[in-house]
Amino acid sequence: MKKFFRSLLAKYMLIILMAIFLVQFAFIIIGTFFIGIESKFVSEDVPTATEIEEKWHKEANNLQSFSKAEISQHFAQWKKQYPDASMFWVDERGDLVETVDLKEELPQQWTAAFMAKFIKARYGGEPFTVIAFLGKDETNGFIVLELPRKEFQPPLQQASNDYALFVFMGMAVIILLFLFVSFMFFHNIRKRLLNLQASMTTRDVDGLPVQTAVKKYDEIGRLEQTFNEMIQELKEANEREKEEEQLRRELIANLSHDLRTPLTKMRAQIYSLSKENGLGEKQASIDMLEASIVDIDRLIENLMSYTLLIASRYKLEKKEVDVIRLVRECLATWYSVFEKEEFEIEVELQPFENNQWFVDPSWLGRIIDNLLQNVLRHARSGRYIQVKTESTERYDAFLFTDRGKGMQHVSNEKGAGIGLSIVDMMVKGMDLDWEISSTETGTSIKIMKYKKRV
Which amino acid, one-letter code, is at 81?
A: Q
Q: State the number of CA atoms in the 13 A half-sphere of 101 facing the CB.
A: 15
Neighbours of 346 (CB within 10 A): 11
CB of 211 closer than 8 Å to CB of 184: no
Cα–Cα distance for residue pair 122/108, rounded to 1 Å: 19
Low-confidence residues of the chain, pLDDT below 50?
42-43, 410-415, 454
Q: What confidence score (pLDDT) does residue 118 get?
A: 85
Cα–Cα distance for residue pair 390/358, rounded to 1 Å: 18
| Beta strands 356-359 and 319-322, pairing class | antiparallel
Cα–Cα distance for residue pair 411/378, rounded to 1 Å: 6
From the list 442, 443, 436, the residue with the least C-alpha distance to 421 is 436
The fold for domain 317-450 equals Heat Shock Protein 90 (3.30.565)
Cα–Cα distance for residue pair 345/338, rounded to 1 Å: 8
3-state secondary structure of 148: coil
Q: Where are the alpha helices (DSSP H) in 311-360?
A: 323-340
CA distances 42 to 35, 36, 160, 224, Å, are: 10, 10, 16, 64
Q: What confidence score (pLDDT) does residue 350 get?
A: 92
CB of 392 closer than 8 Å to CB of 439: no
Task: Identify the CATH class of 207-314.
Answer: mainly alpha
Q: What confidence score (pLDDT) does residue 200 get?
A: 83
From the list 80, 37, 53, 43, the residue with the least C-alpha distance to 146 is 53
Q: Is the pTM of this model over 0.75?
A: no
